[in-house]
Amino acid sequence: MADAYAGRRERLREHCGASGTDAALITRAANVRYLTGCPPCGATLLLTRDRALLALPDDLPPDDTGEHLISPEVTRLEVAAGADTALAAAGAVSGLRVAGLAVEEHDLTVTRHRAVAGLVEGTRLVDVGQAVERLRVVKDEYEIADLRIAAEIADQALGELLESILVGRTERHLAMELERRMIDHGADRAAFPVSVGTGSHSGQQAHQPTDRRVEEGDFLTVVLGARYRGYGVSTARTFVIGAAPAPWQVELHRLVFRAQRAGREALGPGVEQHVPDQAAREILQSAGHTETSPHPVGHGIGLEIREAPRLGPTDMGKLDSRVPVTVGPGVHLPGRGGVRIEDTLVVRPLEEGGPELLTITTKELLAL
Amino acid sequence: MADAYAGRRERLREHCGASGTDAALITRAANVRYLTGCPPCGATLLLTRDRALLALPDDLPPDDTGEHLISPEVTRLEVAAGADTALAAAGAVSGLRVAGLAVEEHDLTVTRHRAVAGLVEGTRLVDVGQAVERLRVVKDEYEIADLRIAAEIADQALGELLESILVGRTERHLAMELERRMIDHGADRAAFPVSVGTGSHSGQQAHQPTDRRVEEGDFLTVVLGARYRGYGVSTARTFVIGAAPAPWQVELHRLVFRAQRAGREALGPGVEQHVPDQAAREILQSAGHTETSPHPVGHGIGLEIREAPRLGPTDMGKLDSRVPVTVGPGVHLPGRGGVRIEDTLVVRPLEEGGPELLTITTKELLAL
């Protein structure tokens, strides 16, 4: 695993060399983690041709999500809690004769950038852009293994919820319970706040759970994901509460199910990013459903819940193998509710069996 | 309440006028909330001499933590979810003949700042610095009322926990249960992840809960806080598990209790910020306890969990009335555990009764 981190840092060094810088100051938490294993704590990585120096707060908890994950060949520089690690790392540059220092201008504030520039006089600051984010797009098998475990945890928590009594419980309670169950099953934490929407709240994109109670006849939409060793997944399912779903519910669920399947089946290496969105969107539109704003049908997922590549209607790049993405269309009918179905999958070529489904909870319209 | 928001915006306009700008682009989430009521969602406020325009994502949930909190005299500009609201707001500047636009350089990344500059050609960008943060230091009675409720919620959750069986339960479970109880009692959410440390983990500054189970004879430190309408508090208590505490536990608890009381009693309008820290620190040091890094004994608290003023050993400004702060010293003995006791209080003059204690759970060494 230490080798994997070293390999990632080597690829960043190559990128910097090619763009004329001899060191990089990496501040974005997910990028620092990707290159060192260090969990999010405000740490900064200074990477030179022959060194990797990690400036991190001196109160990092030494437990199972903490410091022993940091790649051992990285030199640590402990900084008083509350102090700026980017400045501490920049302070170490002066002794190293660095001509060009790559910085993440999409992460550093103007104020921090100015302070860094003041500390490295004589060194040119150059924007490294989203170079590390681009390295992160295609995952290695360590990363995919963590994503599989994160998906298993989310599936377990969801499966247990489906076996319990739901009528009369509030959205907030169900969301809290799912978060607790994921932690019980070994998650670092929930990858994002669990969304539970019942009745007229069902099917929404990012519904914040309320005190509304689950009632007979409701649609119930659950959007959840676990984070395991930093890697998150996202999944959504919609069920119906009580004996038998109404005809409009059966019809709407079948429609979103078909759209989601079309999106999933469109995934593959070399496929343009907008194709899965288009496949899902055409099915929803042909049934007369158009969302007011064009939310992408999915996005890359990994150390961040939304990362490259985006799968929106205007996204033009091509998908690669070993890229984990979400595919999650939905329809919400104001005042009535709706359906959302989302999976996390890994893009794989057909000869490896096509897209690898990580979130395997049934997508059938269960009556609970 | 709408008047309170309008008054805050007027004070920012005065600040901008005095520093030669005729508009401000406010991007920092807590500052946007302070000036408009808008909960954190990536919104941007554009404030000109006679207008307040709020650019916000079009998928903001319309529930009880959502949009009806936004001050009604603010004009809304809905932006597709995922798009940058700062750029949308900056786009509206061009029609308004703005000569100088104040921006928050401590919040805007270099990349966003450049994009904003590109959209407002002919308008000078000026750093507004921490002007809104400074306005936020002294709270009005609306804010203090919300803080009181947040403190009540945290006290209720803690009180219920103390009545339950603790031996054999894990730190993680206890932390999750406290978060759930705070939501049950009406919190927006926990103000920060609840910390529960037992045995050798007790007394630490920011312990992340583990699967360690509570045992007879343990110290148990709980650090928790609720957030209510955006306003958070923080409190810490340390108890002992089982029949009778050991002599070293009684002694250490008494010491930290005395240090915390000295810190609290030192609070007052006109008092220099380092004085409460000094009062608490002297007591701990006279007993031979010195922490490796000089963590401040406390800090301001409100829309952010750590905000101005900081109460550290080198902080020089003076405290004002109606400033809520935490006072929370602790001692941790590696391998054995320790004690941390923290309150949230509002600085008040003696003629109003002195510091107003918000977090009222007993600080006695209870044996649970």
Q: What is the pLDDT of residues A306-342, one digit of tens each?
A: 999 999 999 999 999 999 999 999 999 999 999 999 9
CATH no. for A138-357: 3.90.230.10
Arithmetic mean of pLDDT, A184-197? 93
Closest Cβ–Cβ partner in B111, B183, B295 for A106: B111
* Nearest CA-CA distance, residue B351 and chain A, Å: 35
Q: How does residue A64 score in pLDDT terms, banded at 50, 70 and 90?
A: very low
pLDDT digits (tens, 9 = 90+) for A215-243: 999 999 999 999 999 999 999 999 999 87
Give how far B72 is from chain A: nearest CA, Å. Answer: 22
> Measuring CA to CA, which residue among B329, B263, B255 is closest to residue B294?
B329
Position A190 scores a pLDDT of 94
Residue reference for tokens 């682009």: B25
The predicted pLDDT at position B138 comes to: 98
- Mean pLDDT of the B246-265 span: 97
Report whether pLDDT(B15) > 80. Answer: yes
Write the residue in A80, A210, A292 that is nearest to B293 by C-beta.
A80
User: Percent of chain A at pLDDT above 90?
Assistant: 81
Higher-confidence residue of A346 and B291: namely A346
Structure tokens at A60: 């990092």
Residue A220: name the closest of A161, A136, A151, A155 by CA: A161
Share of chain A above pLDDT 70, in %: 97
Q: Taking residues B198-213, what's their average pLDDT?
A: 91
Interchain contact, B205 vs A63, CB within 8 Å: no
pLDDT of A354 higher than 80: yes
Mean pLDDT of the A4-27 span: 95
The minimal CB distance from B108 to the residues A65, A110, A292 is found for A110
In tens, the pLDDT along A91-131 reads 998 878 888 999 999 999 999 999 999 999 889 999 999 99
Is B107 in Cβ contact with A105 (below 8 Å)? no
Residue B333 is predicted with a pLDDT of: 93
Interface contact A59-B206, CB threshold 8 A: yes
Average pLDDT over residues B28-48: 95
Closest CA–CA distance from residue A212 to any residue of chain B (Å): 11
Q: Percentage of residues in chain B with pLDDT exceeding 70?
A: 97
Smallest CA-to-CA distance from B302 within B322, B281, B331 is with B322
Would you list which residues of chain B are within 8 Å, Cβ to Cβ, of chain A? Answer: 58-59, 61, 63-66, 80-82, 105-114, 127, 172, 176, 179-180, 183, 204-208, 210, 292-296
Shortest distance, CA A110 to any CA of chain B (angstroms): 5
Q: Where are the domains of chain B?
A: 2-135, 138-357
Q: For residues B324 and B338, give the distance between their C-alpha atoms in angstroms, rounded to a whole number.
A: 26
Q: How far apart are CA B116 and CA B110, in angstroms?
A: 10
Subunit contact A205:B293, Cβ cutoff 8 A: no
Q: How confident is the model at residue B82 (pLDDT cuts 50, 70, 90)?
A: confident
| Rounded Cα gap, residues A298 and A346, in angstroms | 12
Average model confidence (pLDDT) across chain B: 93
Residues B340 and B312: beta-carbon distance below 8 Å: no
Look up the ipTM and state it. Answer: 0.87
Specify the CATH number for B2-135; select among 3.40.50.1100, 3.40.50.150, 3.40.190.10, 3.40.350.10.
Answer: 3.40.350.10
β strands within B51-144, DSSP E: 52-57, 75-79, 100-103, 124-127
| Mean pLDDT for the stretch of residues A185-191 | 93
Band of the pLDDT at A65, cuts 50, 70, 90?
very low
Q: How confident is the model at residue A62 (pLDDT cuts 50, 70, 90)?
A: low
Phi-psi map region of A294: left, alpha, beta (phi>0 left; psi -120 to 50 alpha): beta
pLDDT band at A205 (very low <50, low <70, confident <90, very high): confident
Q: What is the pLDDT of residue B63?
A: 52
Q: Given this model, what pLDDT does residue A34 score?
A: 97
Mean pLDDT of the B290-295 span: 69
pLDDT at residue B61 is higher than 80: no
Q: Is the pLDDT of residue B238 over 60?
A: yes
| pLDDT single digits (tens) B100-134 | 999 999 999 999 999 999 999 889 999 999 999 99
State which H helix or E strand residue B135 sits in. helix B131-137
pLDDT surpassing 50 at residue B65: no
Q: Find which of B79, B201, B293 to mutate to test the A interface (most A CBs within 10 Å of its CB).
A: B293
Predicted confidence (pLDDT) at residue B205 exceeds the cutoff of 80: no
